[in-house]
Amino acid sequence: MSHLLVLAAFLVVVIGGGLLIGFAARPGVWYAGLAKPPFNPPNWVFAPVWTLLYALIAVAGARTFERGLDFAFALWVAQLVLNFAWSPVFFRLHRPGAALAIVAVLLAVIIAFVAQSWQADNVSALLFVPYACWVAFAALLNASIVKLN
């Protein structure tokens, strides 16, 4: 399979999946009614940030897949499953405590991916650094919402 086809497939799966989950699990009245910390960004920030991050995640995934880095790719798949699970748990099931557990494990898996990938493909590892930072912020935000509510 050509490199461009692999990359296109990863972009479709990651960005497409993220968009579908984002539409299916939108913040609604329940979320609007929650007490939030003062550092909570406006809702419009999340879509562009996640779209960019999903593109970086897809590129890293395609690179990892093409290089045959099996354990790193297993971590990549695990982070995507956890990532896609967070929104429905938080926004649809209204379970911020369970979502906090998911985002904490997600952050650990992202860090493990960076560590595992660093030697074989530091570009993929570096592509995950902004993602790790954003997920760390999301975990702090999620924990604050749990505490405040």
Query: Domain-by-domain residue ranges, the chain?
Result: 3-148
Domain spanning 3-148, CATH architecture: Up-down Bundle (1.20)
Of the candidates 81, 69, 83, the residue with the CA atom closest to the CA atom of residue 113: 69
- Band the pLDDT of 7: cuts 50, 70, 90: very high
Task: Tokens for 7, please give them.
Answer: 């990359």
Q: What is the pLDDT of residues 46-67, one digit of tens each?
A: 999 999 999 999 999 999 999 9
